[in-house]
Structure 1
Amino acid sequence: MEVHTPKTTRRSTRLRVEIPVTVTSLDRMRPFAERCMVLVVSAQGCGFRSTRALQLETPVMIGDLPGGATVTARVANCLPLGNDGFLIGASLYNHGNVWGIADAPEDWNVVAQNDPVAAQPQPGSVPKSAVQKKSWPYNVFSEGAEIHPGRK
């Protein structure tokens, strides 16, 4: 019998998909831009196939999403797929259904409501005096939030 502890329980449902996207590194020291195929998605991120390995924690922009959207993420995992390149796990900075999935799983809505980043008011709706300019926006993510395949 498998026991699910809080660390091994997924935060939201993963769906297998095939979504062509453009992935671009936002780190000048690690240049990368490539058309990739997203193979698995959740409200927190995705897994995409790439011909090149990406270093962990590399910030990336994922573009050409359904509806023309663009999102930013960080590389959370990089697994070799033999001759098929690499499976790159990306963790979204802003969680939600950015993938254009119709009838998304219910837990995707719960995640978006509980997401501290999504719960913050948009900059246009906040008076300028309330905006904290020295606050680094990515501190809301914990280090142990990723679950690695094969580990239970």
Structure 2
Amino acid sequence: MQRAHRHQQTDRPGGDVEPACHDADEQSYEQHRALAQGIHHATGEDAGHGRAIHRQLAAAITAGLIERIPDPAGGQARKHRPTAEGLARLSSEMRLRSETIDLVTAAWSPDDRRELTRLLRKYNESMEAPREQPWPRPY
């Protein structure tokens, strides 16, 4: 969220994103979406880490990127969801990342791009395995 807080629009050249690279970028988008929909549950981190998360959420709320909402299930815990501004900034950031991936891998063969996507997926799955979290998350 700190990146979103300090994000500034820049002109980055780019073109269409190879589908294989887009898949990797889409996974990154899902991570950010999970953060906005309930970061404590999404990360499964301990209470000590929760304080840092709380500070990041507070900064995102102050910046107007996330808002607190009542628990739709009627529970006492407050939930969070992205604001329209937060979604717009996230969309812009994801578009810029896709353009950057396209630029960096422009000279790569389709097989190389698919291999990068496969390895990134494998990496994410391996990171989530100890917490028994599916990847990508079913949100």
Do the two structures share a fold, i.e. TM-score over 0.5? no
**Higher strand residue share:** 1
**Higher helix residue share:** 2
Name which structure has the greater RCO, CA cutoff 8 Å, separation 6+: 2
TM-score normalised over the length of structure 2:
0.29
